[in-house]
Structure 1
Amino acid sequence: MIINHNMNAMNSHRQMVGNTANAGKSMEKLSSGLRINRAGDDAAGLAISEKMRGQIRGLDQGSRNAQDSISMIQTAEGSLNETHSILQRMRELSVQSSNDTNNSTDRSAIQEEVNQLANEIDRIGNTTEFNTKKLLNGDVVGVNADKKGTAVINNNTSIKTINVTAAVTTAVGANSSLNGAVTVTLVSRAASGTGTYDIRDTDGTAVAAAEFADVGSSFSLSSGLTGATGGFIATADMSQMKVGESLTIVFNKHVAATNDTSKSITAQIGANSGQTMQIGINDMRGEALGIKDSAGIALSVLDKYAANSAISTIQNAIENVSAERSKLGSIQNRFEHTISNLGTASENLQSSESRIRDVDMAKEMMNFSKNNILSQAAQAMLSQANQQPQGVLQLLR
């Protein structure tokens, strides 16, 4: 029997300290709800879970970014809705002015309203913004595929054939710098069959008084109408045209392809670098839509020929606005799918992170109870071990 070293007491004390420390760790986990409270709890798990946390927060912010982008698109689309309404009214006024029951005074009043409506389209295009970023003035055109200028011919069904040659179409696509329309109206037909035509450009200005042969005729419009060197040349069989009938060639401006994203709006829709979407919105002001010339003068409805030309010009502008709204709607739908996808990814990643980081409360409560009981048992055994050396006193009696 020895008394200098009470090995039983030392062992009981060591076990008690360990059980108390384990009970303390269990209590910490139960208090925080986390299995990993410090790196020492699970070094590898901590590193993995922190990387997952970064992804989760990035995905959640990407979802919010997409929602902000939808709000921006809705702002632009809402303004274009009003532009649509204005263009419809302008078309209505053009149809009204085309009727010869109106005199010059009536048409002047109609022209004044057309001018104001065209100015309002410009104002909407110049002032529509989201978070101080202008949307409809061409500042955020950004990335575009090569949009060839097109010539769409609107004509009376009595005209048998209309031919715009491939070479002409290519010239328009490569060189056209203006939007608008040119309208050719048959004014009279001589006994010989030769027709006299009134030609009006985008803003209703008479181009030239010209005589054309009826079958297989060709006519050249000045280069100023399209911005193409040599002008626009088309051939048409006009033998079936009746006096007052028109042939309208509607031009759409050529937009060269570009990969320049400096002007487009970049939406960060992912957790990592490069996970973006580019948003471009075309210029939706008067000149870009073809209802104003480069000098800012609105198309004319001051006579029946100009008004007739304006109908097709405005109709083309309506279709361009419709195409832009359709594009914005498609982007909005894409963002909505993106938000749904990001939410699913975030949820599943959060589930994985939870399995690494969060504590199983029931299991940890079991461990806490075990460690608490062992700690109390160790205290009791330490007390018993401390009593054992006193047995040596019996030898002194």
Structure 2
Amino acid sequence: MAMVVKNNMPARQTLNKLNKNSKALSKSLKKVASGMKLNSAADDASGFSISEKMRVQIRALDQANANAQNAGSLLQTAEGAASSTVDILKTLKEKAINAANDTNTDIDRATIQKEMDQAIDQISDNANVTFNGIRIFDGGADISKSVQDTIIKALNSEWLKASFEMIQDAYGINFTDGRASVNEMEVVLKDEGDNNRLAYVTHRAVGGVTDKLTLTVNMHYYDDMDESDPNGSSPSTGSQYLDRVIAHELTHAVMAANVKDMDNVPLFIVEGFAEVTHGIDDNRRSTLESLPDLSTGMSGEGAYAGGYAFLRYMNKQCGTGSVQSFMQGLVQYEGDADKAVQSATGGRFSTLQNMIDSFNGAKSAAGDTKAFLLNSCGIDLDNPDVGSILGADANQGEVRDDKGSVLEGLNTKFWYYPSANSTLINGLTVKWPDFQKGEGMKFQVGTRANQVINSAFGSISAEGLGLKADNGTNLSVGTRVKAKQAMTILDNAIEKVLDQQTNIGAIESRLKYTQANLTTASENTVSAESVIRDADMAKEMTEYTKNNVLLQAAQSMLAQANQNSSGVLSLLQ
């Protein structure tokens, strides 16, 4: 090798190795000090990118888990308020039952009312519970975006149930005892124009047996329905309280499902049963006062009023319970009205025509229709009772006026949406038209935008449970009749709160699974990210020791290489 002094190549080569060893040692020091084999993208660009994405996912999963825990805390707060309200409602039901007993005077009931007023106020206080300043039971779940939605809520929460219970009490037929041939009904809301059909039930029969039911509400009359009136009033000319119309039509539905060959039953009997369910002494007064003689071929207004008067005549002449027996006979004898009349009247009338003749004869003998209705049918047109078969005139029950014919709560804020597109009400599966339910709260429990749990809460205030009217009037037990009605309203209120409580519990249970899933996902992602980024300390210490030894060796050799050129000096002496 040539002896040169300008360029010491061994020293330069050794220096290069020294620098490489120094860099390798520096990298090893970083890995050992940080515990990570990837400290920057330069270490492994693709691996670093994957690791960073995983870290984003881990933090997102941990935050979603925290969200789920916070949501669980909110729901626990909500459940506490709902549970307290249920306890109050139990007490109110107890007080209502007490007030309905005639061992109490009205003075005693007034004392009970004072207790109830305080308890009802406390229910509203419970409903004002908040979490982080957010009012939980804000009623957001039950907000109506259209009159159609309001009618769906009314049907779901009160009108259908109340009507079915009236029909059961009046005639002993229903969808629950296994006799009904069909257990589904579709609800349709549409504008059918000015055709005097406020609502109607259609049924399809095969071999005399009904296998399909449809309830249609004519929105021509109810598109501007007063959404604050529990009875469903409308300013449209020709309309009636929708709750009474529904009770009328559902009588047809229950009859069609229970009476075989119902199409063979005379129209005036079918309509008569529907009219006597809710009473017509008010809205068909003029028709009743000009009532024509009965015939099996009656139609139009005459069939409605004539059938009503005929059944009230049976009730008056043959005793309370004969109308129910008549209905039971139609079920038993598969629509044979002659056999049903004979059975219901205990043989007093052998055929339907025989009873019609008796009715017409009594009417003719009375001379004055109004007197005939009062004396022979028990229909007092001057009485506030509207003449329901369950009311004061027909059955010595409570007075049922036009607004009290169908029993509802005091406030439409009680109404709530069906829980699904079809729901079971008193044994009947009701298929609903499309409705737009309030969204309520959304709990973000996932790392993607659509991974949310909806939690919509209805109102459980006194107004939202139908216990307080908009004008501030509380549910009353001031009389026996009012106490009896209060019992039913409280049952409905309890059902609504329990439904809320069930919903809360279901979401709480779901959140537990959600938290477990998020925890597992976070753990697995951390494990996967560790494989990419965390250093194997044993391996890195070995590498560090190697690089450290190599660095020291390179330093020593550099010193030796720098001494090589000094040999040239001996040639220059």
The TM-score with structure 1 as length reference comes to 0.78
Contact kept, 8 Å, 1:143 with 1:278, in 2: the verdict is no
**1:14 is matched with which residue?**
16
SS in 1 for 2:385: strand
Q: Relative to 1, partners in 2 of residues 1:338 and 1:141: Cα closer, same or farther, differing over 3 Å?
A: farther
Contact kept, 8 Å, 1:142 with 1:265, in 2: the verdict is no
**2:356 is matched with which residue?**
none
Looking at structure 1, the residues matched to 218 and 107 of structure 2 have their Cα atoms a distance apart, in angstroms, of 38
Q: Relative to 1, partners in 2 of residues 1:291 and 1:27: Cα closer, same or farther, differing over 3 Å?
A: same
Are 1:149 and 2:155 an aligned pair? yes
**2:136 is matched with which residue?**
135
Equivalent of residue 478 in structure 2, options 299, 302, 310: 302
Equivalent of residue 435 in structure 2, options 257, 273, 281: 257
Contact kept, 8 Å, 1:137 with 1:285, in 2: the verdict is no
Using the TM superposition, name which of 96-105 and 35-44 deviates more.
35-44
**1:32 is matched with which residue?**
34
**One-letter amino acid matched to 1:325:** Q
Q: Relative to 1, partners in 2 of residues 1:92 and 1:220: Cα closer, same or farther, differing over 3 Å?
A: closer
Contact kept, 8 Å, 1:149 with 1:254, in 2: the verdict is no
**2:172 is matched with which residue?**
161
Q: Relative to 1, partners in 2 of residues 1:326 and 1:158: Cα closer, same or farther, differing over 3 Å?
A: closer
Contact kept, 8 Å, 2:153 with 2:416, in 1: the verdict is yes
Looking at structure 1, the residues matched to 562 and 144 of structure 2 have their Cα atoms a distance apart, in angstroms, of 84
Contact kept, 8 Å, 1:152 with 1:249, in 2: the verdict is no
Are 1:120 and 2:126 an aligned pair? no
Q: CA deviation at 1:386?
A: 2.5
**One-letter amino acid matched to 1:2:** M
Looking at structure 2, the residues matched to 364 and 170 of structure 1 have their Cα atoms a distance apart, in angstroms, of 79
**2:463 is matched with which residue?**
287
* 5+ long unaligned stretches in structure 1: 198-206, 226-230, 233-247
Structure with the higher fraction of residues in strand conformation: 1
Q: Relative to 1, partners in 2 of residues 1:28 and 1:62: Cα closer, same or farther, differing over 3 Å?
A: same
Looking at structure 2, the residues matched to 286 and 170 of structure 1 have their Cα atoms a distance apart, in angstroms, of 32
Q: CA deviation at 1:211?
A: 4.2
Using the TM superposition, name which of 99-108 and 378-387 deviates more.
378-387
Looking at structure 1, the residues matched to 216 and 506 of structure 2 have their Cα atoms a distance apart, in angstroms, of 29
Looking at structure 2, the residues matched to 293 and 259 of structure 1 have their Cα atoms a distance apart, in angstroms, of 24
Q: Relative to 1, partners in 2 of residues 1:179 and 1:91: Cα closer, same or farther, differing over 3 Å?
A: farther
The TM-score with structure 2 as length reference comes to 0.55
* C-alpha distance after superposition, 1:268-317 (max 9, x if no partner): 11123332222110011112212222322112111212111111211111
Q: Relative to 1, partners in 2 of residues 1:257 and 1:212: Cα closer, same or farther, differing over 3 Å?
A: closer
**1:201 is matched with which residue?**
none
Q: CA deviation at 1:37?
A: 1.8
Looking at structure 1, the residues matched to 35 and 511 of structure 2 have their Cα atoms a distance apart, in angstroms, of 36
Looking at structure 1, the residues matched to 39 and 144 of structure 2 have their Cα atoms a distance apart, in angstroms, of 48
Give the aligned CA root-mean-square deviation in angstroms.
Answer: 3.8
**2:509 is matched with which residue?**
333
Looking at structure 2, the residues matched to 363 and 143 of structure 1 have their Cα atoms a distance apart, in angstroms, of 67
Q: CA deviation at 1:210?
A: 4.5
Matched residues, percent identical? 34
**2:106 is matched with which residue?**
104
Q: CA deviation at 1:113?
A: 0.9
**1:387 is matched with which residue?**
563
**2:549 is matched with which residue?**
373
SS in 1 for 2:161: strand
**2:287 is matched with which residue?**
none
Looking at structure 1, the residues matched to 218 and 119 of structure 2 have their Cα atoms a distance apart, in angstroms, of 29
**2:87 is matched with which residue?**
85
Looking at structure 1, the residues matched to 517 and 154 of structure 2 have their Cα atoms a distance apart, in angstroms, of 35
Q: How many residues align?
A: 358
Higher relative contact order (CA 8 A, sep 6+): 1
